[in-house]
Amino acid sequence: MANIVIVGTQWGDEGKGKVVDLLAEFADIVVRFQGGNNAGHTMVVNGEQFISHLIPSGILQKKTCLIGNGMVIDPAVLIEELDYLKSKGIDVGQDQLMISEKAHIIMPYHKQMDHAREKMKGDKKIGTTGRGIGPSYEDKATRRGIRFIDLIDPEVFSEKVKTILEEKNFYLKEYLSSNPLDFDDIIDKYSEYAEILAPFVTNISLVISRAIKEAKHILFEGAQGTHLDIDHGTYPYVTSSNTIAGNACAGAGIGPKKITDVIGIVKAYTTRVGQGPFPSELFDETGANIQEKGVEFGATTGRKRRCGWLDTVILRNSVRLNSLSGLAITKLDVLGEQEFLKICTGYEYDGKIINDFPASLKVLSACKPIYETLPGWSEDISNIRKFEDLPQNARNYLNRIEELAETPIQIISLGPARDETIIISNPFKDF
């Protein structure tokens, strides 16, 4: 039995989709446990690119995919994703996809509120994906959310929408100067969604528990990144769920004793989409070069990703917050042809050195990165499959990351495709 959690260590888009797709070969089940279609996870197999927003990235390996109770689901997007996969020759049946009956539903007012609030905030906006994620989690916390179990019961669903819509329409119209929504429109659309999705809805905690008893291997696929975590990230410039490994338990319905390993995905440099402080951000030609070479555009919104050097203050924060047992370094190929590379090892604030990630945004925004400089390499490394065959300077860069993170590197990704990878130590190998 191996139950491995994969999390992003930075601000999302580290390459979780690629690594989950790769490791899913050795797993029986892949579970998403938080977030929604704010996520965009890319897989490249046989030259074809797939982007998943809701369905776990184990789908291409034909594994059982579970949508956990900790997720918020836009049913229209889920249906679109099923259609998209079908158009690519992957027909996802009820034996392959299961949705937690307790997962919350994203409603039209959530999306509208997300957009209208961002507009109202102007310069102070979060830069959300506009998918209704925050407002949906907000309703979950204030106990006004609608779950899948409610969606598939027409009477309960209609009763809940009636009560909630009155308040939402008042807020939309009177506070956000946005259009109110029509009850019948919502019921018509959502009853269609319910009919399509009802056969997939089940108790996934039971499914997982049975699998664990049968000594099956489970992969838990995190979305976003540790520094977008609602508690531990750069609040309020974060998403609205806990993205750290601990939430795999709450968001899937299993106990912490069942998790065997946690792998942190680390992009070889740093990127961020949306607003919020980013100490090692580059505003020069090097940043523009990494953005271009790394094709750093959001997989969900298409926005340009901000780019900067690798920051090991945030990496060490992730090691601690997630109890990382190993690292997967991605996009190392993108750093080729840089004369030198920089690694941020600490921050300078008010004449003092800070080694731990500060909670205050005011402090973080004023932090200046302290860098170590290492020589780069010019060789194309994308075809290398053994650590020993990497140029010495690439090995030095990786060894230094390992040292600073005090955590072993298990996987190195050298290109977007599944096979453009060096596996130093397969986390499933001991099981």
Binding-site residue numbers are: 12-18, 38-42, 129, 143, 224, 239, 299-305, 331-333, 413-415
Candidate list 17, 108, 135, 369; residue touching ligand GDP; CB under 6 A: 17
**CB-based closest residue to ligand IMO:** 274
What is the DSSP track for 213-260? HTT--EEEE--S-GGG-TTTSSTTSS-SS--STTHHHHHHT--GGG--
* Residue nearer to ligand GDP on the CB measure, 19 or 194: 19
Residue 12 in 3-state DSSP? coil
Residue 321 in 3-state DSSP? helix
Give how far Cα 190 sits from Cα of 68, 69, 107, 185, 195, Å: 20, 19, 9, 8, 9
d(C-alpha 8, C-alpha 222), whole Å: 7
Q: Which amino acid is at 286?
A: T
Which of 79-87, 183-191, 349-357, 411-419 is the region at the interface with ligand GDP (rule: CB under 6 A)? Answer: 411-419
Minimum distance from residue 40 beta carbon to ligand GDP (Å) = 5
Which of 5-13, 101-109, 123-131, 330-338 is the region at the interface with Mg ion (rule: CB under 5 A)? Answer: 5-13
Residue 58 partner contact from ligand IMO, ligand GDP, Mg ion, none using kind-dependent CB cut-offs of 5 to 8 Å: none
Minimum distance from residue 88 beta carbon to Mg ion (Å) = 19
Candidate list 7, 9, 18, 291; residue touching ligand GDP; CB under 6 A: 18
d(C-alpha 264, C-alpha 222), whole Å: 10
274 binds ligand GDP (CB under 6 A): no
For residues 41 to 60, the per-residue mask of contacts with ligand GDP, x marking binding by CB under 6 A and - elsewhere, is xx-x----------------
Residue 430 has a CB neighbour count (10 Å cut-off) of: 9
221 binds ligand GDP (CB under 6 A): no
Q: Which residues are catalytic?
A: 13, 41, 140
Q: Which residues are annotated as a binding site for substrate?
A: 299-305
Residue 78 in 3-state DSSP? helix
For residues 285 to 324, the per-residue mask of contacts with Mg ion, x marking binding by CB under 5 A and - elsewhere, is --------------x-------------------------
40 binds Mg ion (CB under 5 A): yes
**Number of chain positions touching Mg ion (CB under 5 A):** 3
Total residue length of the chain:
431
Question: Cα 119 vs. chain centroid, distance in angstroms?
Answer: 25
291 binds ligand GDP (CB under 6 A): no
Find the helix or strand (DSSP H, E) in which 352 lies: strand 352-354
